[in-house]
Amino acid sequence: MRVALGLVLLFLIGPFAVIVAASLSAGETLAFPPQGLSLRWVEKVFEVESFRASFVLSLTLAIGATSAALALGVPAAYALARYKVPFAEILRLIVASPLLVPGIVVGLALLRYLVVPLRFPIVLALFLAHTALILPYALRVVSASLANLRPEIEEAAVLLGASRAGAFFRVVAPNIRDGVLAAMVLGFVTSFNQVPVSLFLSGPGVETLPIDMLGYLEITYDPSVAALSTLLAALSLAIVLIAERFLGLTRYV
């Protein structure tokens, strides 16, 4: 039992430990075990111009796509929970489809049928693709918190003098707040770490951070990519830990 648990942990944490160690290397190439210890590659990360640009794009994209997905997902979840929506199950399936279809297919399809023939701006295509990828999370997580809420509490609010909209904002919104925040965190992390879809929707000057890293690695084989990975993993971990601490994120996933 213990051995099995140890192996699972090693399997999960091992690669991460290797990358952290490699990023602290003093040597010139990406290698494990590291040759000597230094922070020079961590410093290098902040000096690479393209990393800065792609970081800003990734950040903007993650925030924009998450907001858009929530703006669509919250009303959709509400409608599905409260009203008899025709073909509700099929609708759920369609919304969930970006999760089921391989990212490569989604990315290629968007490139082939949107960007190339319609001369669709790449940034906009990235934004649409990421929104579609996050939407299933937004819908599922918000639906889960709505399921715990009795529809009568809105009627009770109305009978106490609230309007329909007032009832939503006064008694529904505060009760699904945690779910919405959880969806936000999940959406942000999903978009920020997204590779397969973004791969097809990158071009000169338009690269998300993970794609930029991939490209960098093909040309330069130094430990700065490991250093950047370590920084990003630490950032994601921090976000998830904070979310777990305050929202109990694991309830939703």
Judged by the rule CB under 8 A, the positions of this chain that interact with another protein are 149-150, 152-153, 155-163, 166, 170-171, 174-175
Q: Which is nearer to another protein, 109 or 153 (CB)?
A: 153
Q: Which is nearer to another protein, 128 or 158 (CB)?
A: 158
Task: Output the smallest distance, CB 145 to another protein, in A.
Answer: 11
Task: Output the smallest distance, CB 128 to another protein, in A.
Answer: 35
Tell me, what amino acid is at 54? S
Task: Output the smallest distance, CB 46 to another protein, in A.
Answer: 43
Q: Which is nearer to another protein, 173 or 235 (CB)?
A: 173
Task: Output the smallest distance, CB 44 to another protein, in A.
Answer: 48
- Kindly report the three-state secondary structure assignment for every residue of 184-246: HHHHHHHHHCCCHHHHHCCECCECCHHHHHHHHHHHCCCCHHHHHHHHHHHHHHHHHHHHHHH
Task: Output the smallest distance, CB 83 to another protein, in A.
Answer: 13
Residue 193 and residue 211: Cα distance in Å, rounded?
A: 10
Residue 142 and residue 76: Cα distance in Å, rounded?
A: 9
Q: Which is nearer to another protein, 53 or 162 (CB)?
A: 162
- Give per-residue burial for 72-86: e unless 16+ CB within 10 Å, then b: bbbebbbebbeeeee
Q: Which is nearer to another protein, 163 or 220 (CB)?
A: 163
